[in-house]
Structure 1
Amino acid sequence: GTLLVAKSLNEVDATLLLLRTLLLVTGLATVVGTLLGGWAIAARVLYPLAEMAKTARSITATTAHGTRIGNLSQRARRPGGRDEMAQVVDTFNEMLTDLERATQAQRRFVGDASHELRAPLTTIQGNLAFLQHRVDELPREEVRIMLADAHAETLRLAQLVEELLLLARADASIDQSSAMSEKEFSTGNALRPQPVELDHTVLQLVRQFRGRLSIEDAKLEVGHVEPVRVQGDEESIRRILLILLDNALKYTPMNEADRIGRVVVSVERREQEGVLQVRDTGIGIDPDDLPHIFDRFYRADRARSRQGTGLGLSIARALVEQFGGRITAESTPGQGSAFTVWLPLA
């Protein structure tokens, strides 16, 4: 005989269907959750980058005619926390701050340079135009005076252009990684630091400088000088000292209030630096002017009556800084000033 055992599979099919449904729903939920979570995480991570890109686009925005309308004062919004992205945004904003300062300084420099260049050109142009139309009517002596004025302004203009070029070269040499510095180094035009006998260079220049002095100038003296070898460039160090000596003698009267005007140059070694100091007994510098004396084209009220371009101390500072040195100034009005140059030892 045959025994047949049968059982309905409906319950099993229902269970399998439920299981498949659960797996499908769970899988879809997992995928959707993963996508949403990934999108949220990516949005949070990329948000600072998007803000930085938005800020950069806003800064570099231009009109249809190519006129730049961006504002360098804008900053990217910083995310909360102290993670890497927050640090990236902070660095980006610091870069924008430095760029804004550099741009403002450049604009001021260009404006000041344009003004300084325009003044002698106006004098030259006016004198020559006047002579062109009335040279036959003027006395010979007046013609000579006008030509002498034009010649003096031409020399002043040439000096100003030379100093502007020197400042540009010094600025480029401070950052040797810039494209301009690389080109200068490849062509041999950059100032390469090398060992310089500071005491020998200073004594030699002081001897030469004394030959230029007249009886109306203050007394130029050599103070304490010790052998010091520094890292720099001999021609640059000579120019720095020339600027400081010119400044000191210009503002130090020969005799004033029963005092003999004196300018004293000294050289010594202090720890890991060579120190060059020029001290005078001149008119001094007002405390309000002292923080600005190394600014380009800056001239204190008492200095405006004297000849000069207002670039000398700026050039001295730029030359010192390109060799990793520094220059400081101390002054007491009515008693004198002291300029100190610090250069790394070779």
Structure 2
Amino acid sequence: MINPDDPLDIQVAKQARIIDALVQRANRQHELGTSAYGAFQQAIALQGQIWAKTRDLERASTELEQVRLERERSRRNLADALAAMEGGFALFTDGRLELWNDLFQTLLPDLADRILPGLKIERYFEALRSSAHLRTADPVTIEVVREARRAMVGTAALSFTCELAGDRWYQFGLQRTSETGIVILQTEITGIVRRNRSEKENLIDRQAHYLQAAFDNMGSGICTFSGDGAVLMHNDRFRDLLGLPFTLLQKGRALSEIMGFIQTNGLILESQALDFELWEDRLNRQGRVRKRMRHVSGRMLDLHAHRLPDRGFILDVRDVTLESRLTEMLEKRVEERTEELTHTNRRLTAQYQAQARVEEELRIAKEKAEAAVRSKTRFLAAASHDLLQPINAAKLLISTLSELARGGTLAPTVERLEGSFTSIEQLLHALLDISRLDSTQSAVSPSDVSLGPLMRGIIADQAPLAARKGVQLDIVPCSVFVRSDPRFLLRSIQNLVVNAIQYTDRGGRVLVGCRRRGDEVVLQVWDTGMGISKEDQTRIFEEFTRADNVPPGSGMGLGLSIVDRTCRHLGHKVAVRSKPGVGSVFSITMAVVPGIARPCADRRPVAAETGPADMDLIVLLVENDADVLFATTQKLESWGASVLAVSSTAAALQAVRDIGMPPDILLADYQLDGSDTGLEAIRALRQETGTSLPAIMITADHSAELVRTGARMGFTVLTKPVELSRLRPLIDWKTRARRSAPAESLQ
């Protein structure tokens, strides 16, 4: 019947109603006239229940009184705390005013009678906004209530500042305390606002003082004007430069008055410079005005006017008298100097014209010299074939003559003839190489070159010379690839090896090998020859220069110059180390081509025995030069070969048809008569015979393109004059390695 969760006052009320009901029931039963004894028993039981309920009621009343007293004490403490607060405080629960302090009620006197329990918070802000004591009502809107209700519990929702009558300032803060509770705090910040205002005014006053002090210490005159032309601030220099009285330049004085005083007293000689309307128009359009004026005192003044952000302007007057005088003096000196320069210019013009004539003559002479060089280059290039043809024939004939005269009385003479002819051949090769390297066109054609076959070929060519000199010639094999021109690199290494053999005495040694140094390889030629002094090492790479200890008749001194030119063209580094009486080391440093490990296409042996055994071969020789054809035929027949000597492709085809079988090998010159070439001869004969006929191209053409064509078509290129020490081993190797293959078309 009684819920223990109900408040105590409700439980006490319910117990009182129960007791009243029991008493009334007892009275009714007594009136009905039940037995006295039963009535007595019921009365006793009822009395016990009444006493128990009475005790419960007294205990509940005591507890209720204690709770009431505690609540009253808490309300008094809260009221005392709110009263002690320096700011206003109000608690709104479910949007209605529940608790507040006196300052909140009396802050705005015209709202005091509206601060009542149950006041809606929206009504409060409407009344606040309409208060006559509120000077700034912009932040006081109903929107602040909405923002406060959207804020998180326990956080400051909104804060704004309001100015009240009497220059009082309060900060209003709204804070959400629970789901339904909002607290308004009113904190007075009048002292803070007034202090900040005072500090701001003091700062402005100090800045004005500092600005005035800066103006007073400037070398130029400064005066600022407001937008309507009134004086704001100036320094004494401005007044002194313009010659104005102290009383005229007072704060608030109009610019028109100052201009009128200047015009009346004639302080500025140029009257148009004082037209302020023109100044104002230019200030509005350009933002600045600059004028140079002459003062009545003789001073030259520069006046600058600049527009300020507040539509006012500032005048800056500077004394430029000294600068003006210097300018006039300089202008005068410039005029004098101009007259001198004009006179000098006339004289130089005459000299220039004379120099131009000389330069034109020099240009013409230079063009003639360049034309002569080009003509020389073209001549040597064109004549190289014609020069090498007879040399090749003579070399073959001398070789044949040497074999015929061996052991006879003519042998020494033939040997001297061969030596002299070798010198002529070397000199011719040197001149042709220098001509090619000095040509205007690119003389070198770099490609990936394997040093192994190159070095072995040079050793094979120079082995006979080393044998005749009694010098031991050795090689350390090397298989790296470098980026170089194969023809000029071969000529450079050959020159170094020939020099080493030539200047090494009998019993000495020459060693050719390579050393790896990181990404580079150093090709070295060591010898145990006479050596070179320090002085001579700096000049031996010049043309026609030889060391002082070289005996007469040892050459023209062109070999090392060709090596130096070639290395400069190819980007190689050439160096020498030597000691007189000990020997020399010449080296060429080249960059290694990475990632190349392919074998050399030409696998012929370095050297071969050239004994008296007969060459049992049918050799088809195609050569249009009669002397070369005769000399080569003689040499091949001396080796035991059967030679079919013809001068054209057509004659070669007819010779093959006549014998009814393909020859063992074809030797062909590149340049034949007319449009006929050795390439056409190789292609036609392979097509005619239906075999991959072994072929060797003997030519004076040194182009890399011909070598690449030979690699593509399967023939070997030998340059004229041909080295016999390489020709016979090459013929033996190509005929031994002959195997059947389909004819290749020339593309």
TM-score normalised per structure 2:
0.26
Instruction: State the partner residue of 2:536.
Output: 289
Paired residue secondary structure (2:549): helix
- The residue type paired with residue 268 of structure 1 is R
CA shift, 1:15, in A, is: 5.2
Given the superposition, is the C-alpha separation of residues 65 and 277 from structure 1 closer, same or farther in structure 2, using an over 3 Å criterion? closer
Q: Deviations over 1:283-316 (max 9, x none)?
A: 1112332222112211122224233111110111
CA shift, 1:218, in A, is: 0.6
Cα distance in 2 for residues equivalent to 1:266 and 1:10: 101
Cα distance in 2 for residues equivalent to 1:24 and 1:161: 87
Q: How does 1:175-194 map to 2 (within 5 A)?
A: 180=440, 184-185=441-442, 190-194=443-447
Paired residue secondary structure (1:321): helix
Q: Deviations over 1:107-135 (max 9, x none)?
A: xxxxxxxxxxxxxxxxxxxxxxxxxxxxx
Paired residue secondary structure (1:203): helix
CA shift, 1:205, in A, is: 2.0
- Contact 2:262–2:268 (CA<8 Å) still a contact in 1? no
Cα distance in 2 for residues equivalent to 1:319 and 1:64: 34
CA shift, 1:341, in A, is: 0.8
Given the superposition, is the C-alpha separation of residues 265 and 152 from structure 1 closer, same or farther in structure 2, using an over 3 Å criterion? closer
- Contact 1:228–1:269 (CA<8 Å) still a contact in 2? no
Instruction: State the partner residue of 2:472.
Output: 219
Instruction: State the partner residue of 2:450.
Output: 197
Q: 1:229 aligns with which of 475, 481, 484?
A: 481
Given the superposition, is the C-alpha separation of residues 201 and 62 from structure 1 closer, same or farther in structure 2, using an over 3 Å criterion? same
Q: Deviations over 1:41-83 (max 9, x none)?
A: xx9xxxxxx9xx99xx7xx788699589xxxxxxxxxxxxxxx
- The residue type paired with residue 332 of structure 1 is K
Give unmatched runs, 5+ long, in structure 1.
1-7, 44-49, 69-144, 173-179, 255-259
Q: Deviations over 1:250-277 (max 9, x none)?
A: 11111xxxxx311000023211212111
Instruction: State the partner residue of 1:163.
Output: 430
- Contact 2:497–2:525 (CA<8 Å) still a contact in 1? yes
- The residue type paired with residue 285 of structure 1 is I
Cα distance in 1 for residues equivalent to 2:359 and 2:493: 52
Given the superposition, is the C-alpha separation of residues 30 and 273 from structure 1 closer, same or farther in structure 2, using an over 3 Å criterion? farther
- The residue type paired with residue 220 of structure 1 is L
Percent identity reads: 27
Matched, 1:252 2:521: no
Instruction: State the partner residue of 1:319.
Output: 566
Q: How does 1:86-125 map to 2 (within 5 A)?
A: none
Matched, 1:307 2:560: no
Given the superposition, is the C-alpha separation of residues 215 and 231 from structure 1 closer, same or farther in structure 2, using an over 3 Å criterion? same
Q: Deviations over 1:194-248 (max 9, x none)?
A: 111112311222123224443433111113x332111101111110111011100
CA shift, 1:20, in A, is: 4.2
CA shift, 1:333, in A, is: 1.4
- The residue type paired with residue 430 of structure 2 is E
- The residue type paired with residue 166 of structure 1 is D
Instruction: State the partner residue of 1:239.
Output: 491
Instruction: State the partner residue of 1:208.
Output: 461
Give unmatched runs, 5+ long, in structure 2.
1-259, 274-290, 295-299, 303-319, 338-344, 364-412, 594-747
Matched, 1:337 2:584: yes
Given the superposition, is the C-alpha separation of residues 13 and 165 from structure 1 closer, same or farther in structure 2, using an over 3 Å criterion? farther
CA shift, 1:318, in A, is: 1.0
Paired residue secondary structure (1:23): strand
- Contact 1:327–1:339 (CA<8 Å) still a contact in 2? yes
Q: CA RMSD, aligned part only?
A: 4.5
Paired residue secondary structure (1:220): strand
Cα distance in 1 for residues equivalent to 2:576 and 2:424: 28
Tell me which of the two structures has the higher relative contact order, counting C-alpha pairs closer than 8 angstroms and 6 or more residues apart.
1
Matched, 1:270 2:517: yes
Cα distance in 1 for residues equivalent to 2:468 and 2:261: 126
Cα distance in 1 for residues equivalent to 2:328 and 2:492: 67
- The residue type paired with residue 227 of structure 1 is S
Cα distance in 2 for residues equivalent to 1:231 and 1:35: 70
Paired residue secondary structure (2:467): coil
- Contact 1:243–1:316 (CA<8 Å) still a contact in 2? yes
Cα distance in 2 for residues equivalent to 1:63 and 1:275: 50
**Larger gyration radius, structure 1 or structure 2:** 2
Q: Deviations over 1:8-33 (max 9, x none)?
A: 99954835644547835568987994
Q: How does 1:63-82 map to 2 (within 5 A)?
A: none
Given the superposition, is the C-alpha separation of residues 15 and 308 from structure 1 closer, same or farther in structure 2, using an over 3 Å criterion? same
Paired residue total = 225
Cα distance in 1 for residues equivalent to 2:572 and 2:467: 33
- Contact 1:217–1:249 (CA<8 Å) still a contact in 2? no
Cα distance in 1 for residues equivalent to 2:359 and 2:585: 54
Q: Deviations over 1:125-178 (max 9, x none)?
A: xxxxxxxxxxxxxxxxxxxx9xx99x959x867754653442343255xxxxxx
- Contact 1:199–1:267 (CA<8 Å) still a contact in 2? no
Paired residue secondary structure (1:305): coil
Given the superposition, is the C-alpha separation of residues 345 and 14 from structure 1 closer, same or farther in structure 2, using an over 3 Å criterion? same
Given the superposition, is the C-alpha separation of residues 266 and 20 from structure 1 closer, same or farther in structure 2, using an over 3 Å criterion? same
Q: Per residue, is there more helix in 1 or in 2?
A: 1
- Contact 1:197–1:227 (CA<8 Å) still a contact in 2? yes
Given the superposition, is the C-alpha separation of residues 67 and 208 from structure 1 closer, same or farther in structure 2, using an over 3 Å criterion? closer
Instruction: State the partner residue of 1:71.
Output: none
- Contact 2:525–2:586 (CA<8 Å) still a contact in 1? yes
Paired residue secondary structure (1:246): helix
Paired residue secondary structure (1:322): helix
Cα distance in 2 for residues equivalent to 1:13 and 1:332: 100
Paired residue secondary structure (1:14): coil
Given the superposition, is the C-alpha separation of residues 312 and 35 from structure 1 closer, same or farther in structure 2, using an over 3 Å criterion? farther
- Contact 1:284–1:337 (CA<8 Å) still a contact in 2? yes
- The residue type paired with residue 167 of structure 1 is I
- Contact 2:451–2:481 (CA<8 Å) still a contact in 1? yes
Paired residue secondary structure (1:289): helix
